[in-house]
Amino acid sequence: MLGEYTCLDCGATFDEPKRWEERHGLDTPPYEQWSGCPFCGGAYAPTIICDSCGEPITGDYVRVEPSGEHFCDSCFMLKSFGDDS
């Protein structure tokens, strides 16, 4: 089961990003807040699943129109070479 978001750094998927709060020693808001991967703290993006290999895509991907399928870079390379017959 894949999460809603994919970490762009470690490739983990998760539903809820981890949120941090930096209070800078203040007692009252506004506090500085940010979020990231709950495993490594890295940047994340909505999960996009490769329609060929079924893996979450963390790098470049290609969206194929008009089907709207997504392929990771390596699957797209394979696919385009395969279709060249």
**In terms of CB distance, is 33 or 54 closer to Zn ion?**
54
Binding to Zn ion (CB under 5 A): which residues in 2-21? 7, 9-10
Q: Does 76 bind Zn ion (CB under 5 A)?
A: no
Q: ∠ CA 75-2-43 to the nearest 5 degrees? A: 80
Binding to Zn ion (CB under 5 A): which residues in 27-66? 37, 39-40, 42, 50, 52-53
5: Cβ contacts below 8 Å, ≥ 6 apart: 13, 14, 15, 17, 44, 45, 46, 47
Footprint on this chain of Zn ion (rule: CB under 5 A)? 7, 9-10, 37, 39-40, 42, 50, 52-53, 72, 75
